[in-house]
Structure 1
Amino acid sequence: MSRLLIVLLLIVGFSAQAQRYPKRKIRKDLQELPGFGESYIGFKLYDPQKDKVIAENLSEKFMTPASNTKLFTFYGSQKWLPDTLPAMEYVQRGDSIIFWSTGYPLTLHPDHPDSSVINFLSQVEPNKQLYYWPRPTEDGRFGPGWGWDDYDGYYGAEKATFPIYGNSIQFIVDSQNRSFSMTPNHPGFKVKVSDATDTRVRISRDEFWNEYELKFKEIGPNTEQVIDTLIRPFRYSDILFTELLSKASGKKITKITDFARPERFETVLGVQADTLYKWMLQPSDNLYAEQLLMMISGTQTDTLSTEAGIFLAETPQAFTNVPIFPNGLTWRDGSGLSRYNMFKPNEIVTVLIELYKGYGESLFELLPQGGVSGTIKSWYKGENGPYVFAKTGTLSNNHTLSGFIKCDSGKVLIFTFMANHYTVPTNQIKENFAFILERIRKAY
């Protein structure tokens, strides 16, 4: 058999295989699967090797991205931030060291505690005076369009110029012995223990004060877990930050305001940037995302600003000829908690294309992997390892999934699902996504 004939047969074979799930069948499923008919389902499937759109639905419509917003934060961050992230900046003047923030979120964070700042401060000579300058910021504690009651949830840590302990308290609660511990522990943190119990441990906080109420859970003969770990945000202030940092470093730290960031300064380095990106993307950490946008702004201005970070993320750098988002984006925060964010499926695919150009398949190690890690650990499991590498996003009645699918043929495709305004359980939406992705995996 001639080589030409073999090539032709392979082409025909792949074409026939793809025809088992052509775009008309994909669109039919997008309209008829349970819960899809009454919802708005944005979708796009793109082949980066052929630069070809395979199928799409409502790809030019604005939709709520939820935590898919973090893909755009990631894109802007890897464009503007260095490979090793700056944890803190400082200058030495005589017997004084004046330091300030970069927006870096990992200092003593409960999930990924980085001690770069603490190690530096604790090693300062005893004759040196330490002064903290709160860097200017245009941001409030929350982003525009966040839920007013987000302050009480583990996912709602406040934005800040210099986060510490993830701007949260880690409670370890022993319901059997009715005891608990806190990290960090500070005299300003007040905890009232309720006489009542509940089916699970509950910790609530006053919106404006660091006053908490703790309810232990009921312990019965069949209770297997008696110790629980909960994370709850604290109300941030510069004074609280200075006191926590002073205690952790063992140094007296004085806050100052009459200072301007100089042109020349020294930098304390933190973790590798890709490490933080992975920690943001896989569990979908909101504080990391918000602080990254502030860090982007800090590369070009003295003021830490989400709005400036978004502007820079959208703006082409000097060596880039044209912006990848020529019409701009309806983008309001780093995490996707804001209901004001609106992206089109086309724009999500565009940012995935750009990320894939820069990272190649090494990008898959940073994203959640179906059946293996992150927010899709329990979904989209492959028979011989992960085949879906994608970022989720969920707000009430909205669920998104965007990323990459590795097909049985070895081909890598880029996709986005955006399900908005559905009324069925979110698990039904995920099952629909899984059904379509599985058919794509086998067909292409």
Structure 2
Amino acid sequence: MKKLFAGFAILILLNSCSVQKRFSKILPQNQGFHQGFIFIDFETGDTLFQKNADKYFVPASTTKLFTLYSATHFLLDSLLAFQYLETPDTLYVRGAFDPSYQHPDFKREYPVLTGNKPIVLDNSLYIGPAYGQGWMWDDAADNYQVALSAFPVYGQLLKAEKSEEGLHFEPDFFEKTDQDLEKIIPLGKGFEIETLAIGEKVSFPMIMNDQLLSGILSKDLGTNVSIGEALNVDSYKNQYSVSLDSALIYMMHRSDNFFAEQLLLQSGLKMFSDSINTGKIIERLLQNELMHLPQKPRWVDGSGLSRYNLFTPKDLTTIVSLIENELGFERLKTFLPTNGLNGTMKTFAEEEAPFIYAKSGSMSGVYNLAGFMKTDKGRLLLFGVMNNNFTQSVSKTRSETADFLIEVKSRF
């Protein structure tokens, strides 16, 4: 009997070595940069292949998988738009980090805000800096890196379009105002709006302050909106906005940094009653729900904009598995972009039938991918691929990663 068990053990070992060798033969050609891989048979839990899977890499937007976990774990089926208390002469409103207010893709009206009463807005729940830790100064005027706020408006973006009639703005507050655009747009790039050609459109992050926020909201709502403090918040009512799933699909498919940051902050409302910032939320998650990650990450923001973030391939596959445990594969699949079909994966391996459901992450010198893939033999693999510190173009590394995963699909 002992010989029989020993024989089985040898067969398993030989098969494992064979799989490792087969993977090694098809790995992308390494030109001196850092690579990490892990492939797990999702049904059996067996690790088929790993290389540098416990090493740290800059994750870029695969960080949004951790925000996805936090949001689905803590939030209800709809986002909290704000909290409010109505008195005989005033409406008190408390911001709750909802990214959808007057967002161009999620516009909706809130009847409670459209009365004639003056509004006092408490925008103090967020106590962190306007920008995330380690965000790049070079990106400060780009529309994918916007300021954080307890009550963000219009996606925190100022949009402008030039027509023969003149300049048109969203928010339209800026169409009849003496605001100095040079002070509202980072890096003094307000002059770019003044020099637009007819038909040209631009969008810039707004440098928001209380005066500007109250002006935009007063114009929108047709009543005086001032910035102040909430009364006894225990008596406030909740106003909900868009469905959680629609917001998460938007965040994941578009890799939207603004939604990622705001949704991580809103999930913090379930952890802290006041004085919320990104660092507190992350620390709380890592000490509790995510305390058993294979390697403790360095995690500083919700979007992955920061190069201070450091995760391992094992961390990425672990967080995907945790989300699947809570949501099930079919629901999770709706949030993960699919090759050839949608989001950031629409042009990835687009010649192949859909077989990858994964979140990508890229920036200069970085291309990563983590999620699920189905092989031609019917296997469902949980995988993470991380590429860092390359000097070639991101598109080249992305293409090499696609070719590699197509080979995995056909061979395993």
TM-score, L = length of structure 2: 0.88
Q: Deviation at 1:116?
A: 4.3
Whether 2:399 is the aligned partner of 1:427: answer: no
Task: Give the drift of 1:168.
Answer: 0.3
| Residue in structure 2 matched with residue 223 of structure 1 by the alignment | none
The answer to whether 1:412 aligns with 2:380 is yes
- What is the Cα deviation at residue 273 of structure 1? 0.8
Distance 2:331 2:393 in 1: 33
Aligned residue type for 2:345? I
Q: Which amino acid aligns with 1:310?
A: I
SS at structure 2 position matched to 1:149: helix
Residue 295 of structure 1 corresponds to: 266
Residue 262 of structure 1: how far off its partner (Å): 2.1
Measured against aligned partners, the alpha-carbon deviations of 1:8-51 in whole angstroms (never above 9, x if no partner) come to: xxxxxxx9xx99x9322323443xx34x2311001111111101
The question of 1:371 aligning with 2:364 is answered no
Is the partner of 1:436 in helix, strand or coil?
Answer: helix
Question: Out of 213, 219, 229, which is 1:247 matched to?
Answer: 219
Letter in 2 for 1:295: Q
- Distance in 2 between the 1:173 and 1:45 partners? 51
Q: 1:216 to 1:245 in 2, by over 3 A?
A: closer
Letter in 2 for 1:97: L
User: How many matched pairs?
Assistant: 393
User: Which whole-Å CA distance do the structure 1 matches of 2:179 and 2:397 have between them?
Assistant: 41
Aligned partner (choices 157, 164, 171) of residue 153 of structure 2: 164
Preserved contact between residue 381 and residue 387 of structure 1 (Cα < 8 Å): no
Residue 107 of structure 2 aligns with which residue?
114
Partner of 1:285: 256
Instruction: Give the % identical residues.
Output: 26
Task: Please give the residue correspondences for 1:33-182 in structure 2 after superposition, counting only pairs within 5 Å.
Answer: 33-34=28-29, 36-110=30-104, 112-117=105-110, 119-122=111-114, 124=115, 126=116, 128-174=117-163, 177=164, 179-182=166-169
| Consecutive unaligned residues in structure 1, runs of 5 or more | 1-14, 193-203, 218-225
CA contact (8 A) 2:96 2:151 kept: yes
Q: For the residues of structure 2 that align with 1:168 and 1:207, how far apart are their CA atoms?
A: 15
Structure 2 CA distance for partners of 1:416 and 1:261, relative to 1, 3 Å:
farther
Compute the displacement of 1:435 (Å). Answer: 1.4
Q: Say if 1:162 and 1:326 are closer, same or farther in 2 by CA, change over 3 A.
A: same
Q: Equivalent residue of 1:282, what SS?
A: helix
Report the residue type matching 2:42 in the other structure. Answer: P
Q: CA deviation at 1:152?
A: 0.7
Aligned residue number for residue 6 of structure 2: none
CA distance in 1: counterparts of 2:146 and 2:253, whole angstroms: 18
Map 1:345-384; keep pairs closer than 5 Å.
345-359=313-327, 360-381=329-350, 383-384=352-353
Distance in 2 (alpha carbons) for counterparts of 1:25 and 1:55: 9
Q: 1:407 to 1:245 in 2, by over 3 A?
A: same
Q: Provide Cα deviations, 1:192-215, integer angstroms capped at 9, x if missing partner.
A: 9xxxxxxxxxxx944379665444
Shift of 1:255: 2.0
Q: Report whether the alignment pairs 1:231 with 2:224.
A: no
Counterpart of 1:220? none
| Residue 227 of structure 1, CA deviation | 3.4
TM-score (structure 1 length as normaliser) = 0.82
CA distance in 1, matches of 2:316, 2:228: 43
1:24 lines up with 2:18 in the alignment? no
Equivalent of 1:268 in 226, 232, 239: 239
| Cα distance in 2 for residues equivalent to 1:104 and 1:372 | 28
- Equivalent residue for 1:207? 187
